[in-house]
Amino acid sequence: MIEDTPSADIIKGPWKRTTNSLTKKQIFKAEQLAYCEEISDTCLMSILEILVKNGIDVSDESFIRDITFLTESIKASILK
């Protein structure tokens, strides 16, 4: 009985190893994005609270889609 052993072609190339260290610019951009995210989340929670108090159904699928768009618009405005 012949055993089926998997075989693979291994390609060894002259690729250089790179380090994945972040630059100061990348760190600054990530901090900006996190700040925008925090502000937009705070705004979203306030908006949802007001809407629920006024009897708006926030569980509807189309509403969730719309509020997601609104949240992303707020983030883009803050970042700009």
Mean pLDDT by 10 residues, the chain (80 residues): 66 77 88 91 92 89 90 89
CA atoms within 13 A on the CB side of 32: 11
| pLDDT (0 to 100) of residue 53 | 95
| pLDDT (0 to 100) of residue 20 | 77
SS (H, E, C) 44-60: HHHHHHHHHHCCCCCCC
Q: Where are the domains of the chain?
A: 24-79
Model pTM score: 0.62
| pLDDT (0 to 100) of residue 12 | 78
Q: Which residues lie below 8 Å from residue 22, measured CB to CB, with a gap of 6+?
A: 30
| pLDDT (0 to 100) of residue 45 | 92
| pLDDT (0 to 100) of residue 42 | 92
